[in-house]
Amino acid sequence: MGNEKEINQKRQEHILKALDFLKNGGDFSKASTFLQKAKDDRPDFANVEGHPLNTLYAENAAITNLIEEKLLPDLKKWQQDGKNEELLDRMRKELKKLQTIKYHYMRKENSLYSFLIKYNLISENGSSALWAQDNRIRANVDEAYDSVEAATLPDKYVIEEKVEKAAKEVLWMVFYEDTILLPLLTVVSSPTDWYIVKQDELEIGYTLIDYPKGWTPSQSDIDRANWKRDQAGILSDKVKKAYAQFLHDFLSVDITMKKSSVLRGDPSYPIGDEKSGPDLVLDNVQDVTVKMEIGSLTLKEIPAIFNVLPVDCTFVDKFDKVKWFSNTDRVFPRTRSVIGRPVIRCHPPKSIDKVMKILDDFHKGMADSRDFWINVHGRMIYLCFYAVRDNEDNYLGCLETVQDITKFKTLSGEKTLENQDQYDD
């Protein structure tokens, strides 16, 4: 098994060298050395099929193979005359496949970044900045795809520039993840953390790999991991400072969390750990009745009702942190890792200011609801934010609802109890 402390020290030394490599511009003709060292440092569980870490590494390997063995060689051949339709068609298909990095990035943003925050490696602001960087890479891949899909193709050198730029940025991110991000999480994260990541995967999907096997940590996995962590020691301050400085230089932002009037954080609030899962706290839940304003419901009936509502619900508490979301009819991904996090960090960076304004208006009593409707891949999506208050008008939180209303736009006539047989289900 080796000396866990020595293995951990070696892993952290390699993280520092990779950070320094990127800080100094990163001559990627030498990147293979760093990638191999990081691969040699991987823990045993990184080789377990179905483990989220194994899945993340497998996706990065598939992404690298797609770019280096297919897309770029085809681009080089096509660029010679810019007229080979077979090569152009292959590039279209390869870029279409590359666009599926959105699933890999979405899992990273919704799950992995929350654990960087949990272990004080980044701030919430830093998480948003990393998310924005992912968005830029996605946008460049989309631009490259659009350039080869255009009805009238742009100059071949324009296509070459866009494809090479997208490929370079994606490979840069693969290097960063394989040599820095994932090794950092290897040091700090527990099997319970990884199990939450595994559950989150099912909400989002995968990039360029087959659906992975199931994985649940056993008690022996947890005990062994705890023993290893005790033996190996914690992440050094030197690595923490180097990583913070790298993010500051790379993202050009202050990653220290600044106080905001709308971020009324509660430090005792549970983040996305084992408490994110439902816990059975009463033996006979069917016998426990909750008196409502009108009538009553049992504890079994309440979640069952939410599970059949044709609407995606998320409740944000008075501290502006996600407390609960429903489990059906979700239009946008919601992962367990989001529980306890500020709701503004669950939205794309471009939406943060708008979400903060809505919450601030709710807190101040200046508004009770806001609604929006957007087109998502041909579907009409209706979003509502409601201020939730008690009978004395005290603010309790915000309920966000999301619903696909596409079918409502096509309704005509009447479907009643009497004529329902005339309509197809």
| pLDDT for the residue 399 | 96
For residue 270, pLDDT over 60 is answered with no
What dotted CATH number matches 274-410? 3.30.450.20
Q: Average model confidence (pLDDT) for the chain?
A: 85
Q: What is the pLDDT of residues 78-89, one digit of tens each?
A: 998 888 899 999
4-251 CATH: 1.20.120.520
State the pLDDT at residue 233: 61
Position 35 scores a pLDDT of 94
Q: Write the secondary structure of the chain as one string of H (helix), E (strand) and C (coil).
A: CCCHHHHHHHHHHHHHHHHHHHHCCCCHHHHHHHHHHHHHCCCHHHHCCCCHHHHHHHHHHHHHHHHHHHHHHHHHHHHCCCCCHHHHHHHHHHHHHHCCHHHHHHHHHHHHHHHHHHCCCCCHHHHHHHHHHHHHHHHHHHHHHHHHHCCCCCCHHHHHHHHHHHHHHHHHHHHHHHHHHHHHHHHHCCHHHHHHHHHHHHHHCCCCCCCCCCCCCCHHHHHHHHHHHHHHCCCCHHHHHHHHHHHHHHHCCCCCCCCCCCCCCCCCCCCCCHHHCCCCCCCCHHHCEEECCCCEEECCHHHHHHHHCCCEEEEEECCCEEEEECCCCCCCCCCHHHCCCEHHHHCCHHHHHHHHHHHHHHHHCCCCEEEEEEEECCEEEEEEEEEEECCCCCEEEEEEEEEECHHHHHCCCCCCCCCHHHCCC
pLDDT reading at 271 higher than 50: no
Q: Give the pLDDT confidence of 222-257 residue by residue, as tens digits.
A: 877 776 666 556 788 899 999 999 988 887 655 444
pLDDT digits (tens, 9 = 90+) for 278-316: 444 455 555 678 888 888 888 788 888 888 888 999 999
What confidence score (pLDDT) does residue 1 get?
45
The full set of domain ranges for the chain reads 4-251, 274-410
Residue 410 or residue 145, greater confidence: 145
Q: Record the pTM.
A: 0.78
Query: pLDDT confidence of 151, banded at 50, 70, 90?
Result: confident
pLDDT at 116 over 60: yes
